Structure formats: structure tokens, C-alpha cells
Structure 1
């Protein structure tokens, strides 16, 4: 049984819910990633922030990215998985919720993240292709 912990990218970084959207965008650019978890001051996961969120919810609506906080863009509870969950659970969650990234939690604390690329590296071509197809359905 392969677990989420075995395929996750560990030590993922967060943007703070109190960071400005500009600070969050800089962090995305510096790390060369398209999404980051949003964590509160208590180190708990509050949501996910994507570069698309910034474009659609801030730039396109002509909102002030210096005045908005990353936490303002956190909508609902993110889909998460426990670090000891079987990889089949990760695949099911990604497919059902059509998400490309799943934060990995241990004792309700963020310990890593699983992205489509992690799935592709860890699984056979057919399995990873099925997940990508399910995530991409409209």
C-alpha cells in the first residue's frame, strides 16, 4: 500500500492569510509554482491560493492587490488527505473534486502537498492518465 506521505512533496510552503495578495503573488513567482496553501497564524490550513485566483478575483475585477489579503481569497474548506491515507484515496479525491493539488495533513497540520506531477511520478501511466482525465472533465 502506497501512502500519501510516500508520494507527497514534503515541506511545502504557505502564504499567510494575513499576507497581501502582492506578497502572495511574489511568493508564487519566487517558488515558480501555480498554487500555495494559505495558512493562518496558528499554522493551520485555511485554503488554497492559485495564480488564477489572483488574476480572476483581483486583477480582472480591478481590486487593490496591496489592500487585499491572501485569506480574502480562501473560499470554503480545501480538499485534504491524511498523510497515512492510501494513494487510492488521493486519486479518488482528486477525481471527485476535480482538483490538481491536495494538501496532506497530519494531526490537522500541513505536512506536504500532492500535485498531478507527484501522481505521474508515482503511478503507472494508465492510472495517472485516468486521474488527469477525471480532473480535467467539465
Structure 2
């Protein structure tokens, strides 16, 4: 089964000019910890609640004056809508990510897939492997 069949096409996106205060309020309101950053179907990056804490709050940045574009992750790992569910699960595990934007061959944003979405369609052994990969700490020398 390809990822397009299970992805969530409802995309939560903010623009790079959104204040961190507004982005954090949206995360709190929607009970999410992850936002896509861009316009229309053009993805510029991602923002997590952890990014806000580590890159802004801990540095004493003004949450109203600081914009999402100032701290977003511009190197976004994506999968293509035609990829197989198992392949995407392994990629997410290898890269230790819990969510992944889904794009078409023209790199236009179509949706997002999460570990929870994938878990419903994988065999239990692969689910355990994927969760272990995402939650393990990487050892760097």
C-alpha cells in the first residue's frame, strides 16, 4: 500500500512571518506539537514545540517579535506519495522522526503521515522496530 492512501491531507501550516507566540498558541489550541511552515503547497520547513523551547525560549527571545522563519527547520525530510508504507516507516525510524510531510513528484505538499497513521498498516514486528528507532538516542562520537 502506498503512503497516499493513509496520509492525512488536512495540513496545519503557518507562514514564516507568523510570530512564535501565535504558533505556540495554535499548537496549544489544536493540541499538536508540530507545524508545517510555508504557503499553499510550498513547504519551507517545520516547527516543533521543542524548537520553540530550545531555540527561542531558552535564548530569551521575544515570543511576539520572533518569527517562525527565524527558527524553523528548513531541512525537511519528506516522503513521496507513491512510496510504500513499509519503506516510509523504515525511513522515519532511521531518521528518528515521528511525522513526515508527503509530497508529490513535483515536491508539492500533499499531506502528512505520522507514526500512528503507519502503525495501523504495518505488521507488529515492524511497528516495534519503527518505535524503537524513533525513540532511541543516537550515539555520536
Query: Match of 1:46?
Result: 44
**Residue 103 (1) aligns with residue 101 (2):** yes
1:65 aligns with 63
**Does the aligned pair in 1 maintain the 2:99–2:112 contact within 8 Å?**
yes
**1:81 alignment partner, one of 72, 79, 82:** 79
Deviation at 1:72, TM superposition (A): 1.4
Matched, 1:117 2:116: yes
The alpha-carbon deviation at position 42 of structure 1 amounts to: 5.6
Count, aligned residues: 136
Could you tell me the TM-score, scaled by structure 2's length? 0.89
CA RMSD, aligned part only?
1.4
The gaps in structure 1 that reach 5 residues or longer are: none
- Mapped pair 1:22 → 2:17: no
* 1:3 has 2:6 as partner: no
Of residues 49-58 and 89-98 in structure 1, the stretch that sits farther from structure 2 once superposed is 89-98
Structure 1 stretches of at least 4 aligned residues deviating more than 6 Å after TM superposition: none
1:127 aligns to 2:126 (yes or no): yes
Q: Is the 8 A contact 1:7 1:114 kept in 2?
A: yes
Distance 2:120 2:70 in 1: 34
8 Å CA contact 2:101–2:111 kept in 1: the answer is: yes
- The DSSP-based 3-state class of the residue aligned with 1:113 is strand
